Amino acid sequence: MKPIDIIREVKLKANGQWQNILSSLGVEVPLNTHTACPACGGKDRFRFDDKDGNGTFICSQCGAGDGLDLIQRIFGGSVTEAAQEVASIIGIDTRSDNPPTYSSDEVKAQQEAQRAQQEETKAREKAEKHKRFTERYSRTIAHIKRGESDYIKAKGFQGVEMDLLPDGSLIIPLLDGNGTITAAQTIKPNGEKRLLLDSSKNGSYYPINEPINVHTVIIAEGLATAMTCHLIQPEAYTVAAIDAGNLIHVAKVMRTKYPESKIIIAGDNDIKPDQSNTGKLAAEKAAKAVNGITALPPTDDKADWDDYRLSHGIEAARQAFNEVLGLQGGKAIMKPKNTKRKMKPRNNLAQLADNEKALLLAEQYEGVAVHPESEAFYTYQQGVWLKTSFLDLSREMGRVYMQHNTNFSKRALNNVVEALKIVAPVMGEPCQSLIPFSNGVFDIKTKLFSPHSPSNWLLNHNGIEYTPAKPDENLRDDAPNFHKWIDHAANSDPYKMKRIFAALYMVLANRYDWQLFLEITGEGGSGKSVFTQVATLLAGQHNTASGNMAALDTARGRAQFVGKSMITLPDQPKYTGEGTGIKAITGGDAVEIDPKHEQQYTEIIRAVVIATNNTPMIFTERAGGVARRRVIFQFNNKVKDEDKDPLLSKKIAEEIPVIVRRLLATFDDPEEAKMLLIEQRDSAEALEVKRASNPVLDLCAALAFMSEPRGLEMGGGRKVEEERQPRKYLYHLYLSFIEYQGLGRPLSVTEFGKAIKEAAKEYKSEYLTRTINGRRQTNVQLTDDVNAFL
């Protein structure tokens, strides 16, 4: 075989195998890692990147090349000798005079297979690296505390609290385009900066402020520079790319997220005599890639915008920044926003298969998905997925036919929509950490606001526009009508006020997953309806469905609640029952749904339930499932006639943005709100309400539970009326109490035993029994309070 044929054959067959080939020759080269050069011995300027499987490398001392070049440099000799060495490893017979022939299809198939294997390897390595980073990051932030950084204070920023490590170092998380933390940078008090090991920095950034109505994006290199740029243009969305090399990657992410926004690259002016200006070059490269503009500080010496602020003051920096932009015109390329995609020209529409027409129909929407259970269609519109009828899709397909001057039949339309069920993706699960607003979503985990995305799979938003808070904003001054109402409802009790506030947070954040429901009970005119109205404003009128307890218990009744984030049961009539439906819904169970004219299916109803009534509900369920979920608020402070304001609800509606911001600020940790609601569930106020509707619970207030069952015997039997001994037998005591209260239909002995077992838990006690000589003895003893009815 000729030398040139050997070289060609080796390069073809060795593609994708170079790391193993080098290892067989005793040369270990880790992929994409700076290490010592095996050829020249350089310590850390060599990187084996194996692009396209060709064994490529780069060394700052001895240059770059492919796998054969590397072997030639390591072992010396000619390229032919290097090829022969490789041929012996991978099994190529170099003695034949005739080189093997391959069809172009065979070569292409081999290369594609090798390329797919390389991509799979890269994806696996990337996932493993991210897993290592996530574990390392979690360990690192386990001991963080909030405080002022010496590094930031030295830059002239006072009163800025950030996450600090025990040694005083700053740690800032870097987010990728999806909001995932993929990297982190630490900054020591002396300014030394390092990336956390296994960080994936490319395209990740640290946001200085929240992205609200993003018209302008400013991308700076470092943290302090980005903070200064935020002071210069506080209305812009400002991020730190960490270094010059990452500017272009972050810029591309921002252009994808905000295609219509102006992007400003606030680069560093790395001016040096007789050297290239790396900051300027990187900024210009990034700006060119995304049709953005650059803004460098106008200095004769090396400086960034933070240096300029420290030297000249913030006002001078702002003026210089704007002048630099003005010299470039300050205009960004803007693209028109279309809610529907452009129609692709197809002249032979009638000749397309149904699946092709279905794809064409899907192109008319921002997104189309199919519910996995009901097979109902949802289309993505203005940030949320809305249920779309079969008829609406048929009409849209009819419009497509008419635009192509093609006749159609009803059957043809039906076939296309049916085919869409097959080709459209299946609906995903809504992201639970997001609070949806009309202009975007607030992530309660990252504390960041971002635009709507189809991948959030949200079915609704609250209709409220999220806006940043004013300095020193508070409820008393900025939401006086709401503050007046909540103060009155809580009877000026600050603890109860905060618990009511926690209940409203549960509604705003749609924390149905807390497995709690709210029952607001009390006199008429005490503010119960205002609570429901405020909750409806927070959840969104279109996300709220009204019903009754009976509707929750049936598959047909539950159909009206699908896709809603809040269920109200207003003016609930006196209810006595097991509470099967409310227990299943608030417990997060999948329940049967039976909508009219659609097939029955199961669904988890992700909604917070609020019941309001004048008389508390009575639950006959004895397993404690309802009691664990029931959070009762008693509103008994009736508003005087002269103090009633018919416009109160309207006034509070105007204060909703303030209320939302205070809810998010107050419950920065959502678990605090949950714990307040659990405290309310177990409060004396809630117990008082339940006692009024549960005679067994009321009776327990006159009893004491001992640690051992050495108290009253249970008693019972058919002759109980003739031989009633309430001071000896617990069941007799219960009958006497029922009689004293003027109640009928006492529980049986067995049911009473179950009821008192649950009632004891309400008093933080335990009901115990034992059997002695065939009789059941309890741990219950009487207190002096029984004398009131015995």
Q: Are residues 664 and 556 in the same domain?
A: yes
pLDDT interval class at 728 (50, 70, 90) = very high
Q: Are residues 285 and 316 in the same domain?
A: yes
Q: Are residues 280 and 319 in the same domain?
A: yes
Alpha-carbon distances, residue 322 vs 219, 258, 266, 282, 283 (angstroms)? 15, 22, 12, 21, 17
Q: Are residues 409 and 508 in the same domain?
A: no
Q: Are residues 595 and 669 in the same domain?
A: yes
Look at residues 382, 397, 423 and tell me which one is the last residue of a structural domain: 423
pLDDT score for 143: 85
Q: Are residues 532 and 383 in the same domain?
A: no
| Of 700 and 75, more confident | 700
Is the overall model pTM greater than 0.75, yes or no?
Answer: no
Does residue 429 fall inside a structural domain? Answer: no
Give the β-pairing of 161-164 and 145-148: antiparallel
| Of 409 and 469, more confident | 409
pLDDT of residue 457 exceeding 90, the answer is: no
Look at residues 669, 689, 709 and tell me which one is the last residue of a structural domain: 689
DSSP 3-state of 741: helix
**Nearest Cα to 196, choosing from 146, 148, 242?**
242
d(CA 1, CA 360): 55
Q: Are residues 627 and 566 in the same domain?
A: yes
247, 284 contact by CB (below 8 A): no
| Of 88 and 507, more confident | 507
Does residue 113 fall inside a structural domain? Answer: no
359, 412 contact by CB (below 8 A): no
Does residue 382 fall inside a structural domain? Answer: yes
Work out the end-to-end distance of the chain between its first and last CA atoms, rounded to an integer number of angstroms. Answer: 114
Q: Are residues 679 and 721 in the same domain?
A: no
pLDDT interval class at 507 (50, 70, 90) = very high
Look at residues 101, 132, 160 and tell me which one is the last residue of a structural domain: 101
d(CA 314, CA 755): 70
Angle between helices 656-666 and 528-539 (to 10 degrees): 80
Does residue 445 fall inside a structural domain? Answer: no
Does residue 221 fall inside a structural domain? Answer: yes
Largest CA distance in the chain: 118
d(CA 185, CA 208): 14
Q: What are residue 368's phi and psi, to 5 degrees?
A: -135, 135
226, 305 contact by CB (below 8 A): no
pLDDT of residue 167 exceeding 80, the answer is: yes
d(CA 136, CA 130): 10
pLDDT of residue 334 exceeding 60, the answer is: no
Domain with residue 87: its CATH number is 3.90.580.10
pLDDT score for 382: 84
Three-class DSSP labels, 504-534: HHHHHCCCHHHCCEEEEEECCCCCHHHHHHH
Expressed as residue numbers, the domain containing 776 is 694-788
d(CA 215, CA 398): 37
Q: Are residues 56 and 70 in the same domain?
A: yes
Does residue 605 fall inside a structural domain? Answer: yes
pLDDT interval class at 653 (50, 70, 90) = confident
d(CA 68, CA 11): 8
pLDDT of residue 55 exceeding 50, the answer is: yes
pLDDT score for 340: 43
What is the mean predicted confidence (pLDDT) over 85-110? 64
Q: Are residues 624 and 491 in the same domain?
A: yes
What is the mean predicted confidence (pLDDT) over 33-55? 81
What is the mean predicted confidence (pLDDT) over 422-450? 79
pLDDT interval class at 375 (50, 70, 90) = confident
Structure token pair of residue 156:
């002239």
Range in 50-64, 115-129, 289-303, 593-607 with the lowest mean pLDDT: 115-129
What is the mean predicted confidence (pLDDT) over 204-219? 90
Instruction: Give the total number of structural domains in the chain.
Output: 5
Starting at the edge strand found earlier in the chain, the sheet holding 293-294 runs 206-207, 237-240, 216-220, 262-266, 293-294
pLDDT of residue 357 exceeding 60, the answer is: yes
pLDDT score for 447: 67
pLDDT of residue 337 exceeding 70, the answer is: no
Q: What is the pLDDT of residues 581-616, one digit of tens each?
A: 999 999 888 899 988 877 788 889 999 999 998 888
pLDDT of residue 467 exceeding 90, the answer is: no
pLDDT of residue 487 exceeding 90, the answer is: yes
Domain with residue 236: its CATH number is 3.40.1360.10
Domain with residue 750: its CATH number is 1.10.10.10
Q: Are residues 652 and 753 in the same domain?
A: no
pLDDT of residue 371 exceeding 70, the answer is: yes
pLDDT of residue 266 exceeding 90, the answer is: yes
Q: Are residues 387 and 522 in the same domain?
A: no
Q: What is the pLDDT of residues 376-385, one digit of tens each?
A: 899 998 888 9
Domain with residue 498: its CATH number is 3.40.50.300
Does residue 450 fall inside a structural domain? Answer: no
Residue type, 707: S
Does residue 38 fall inside a structural domain? Answer: yes
pLDDT of residue 239 exceeding 90, the answer is: yes
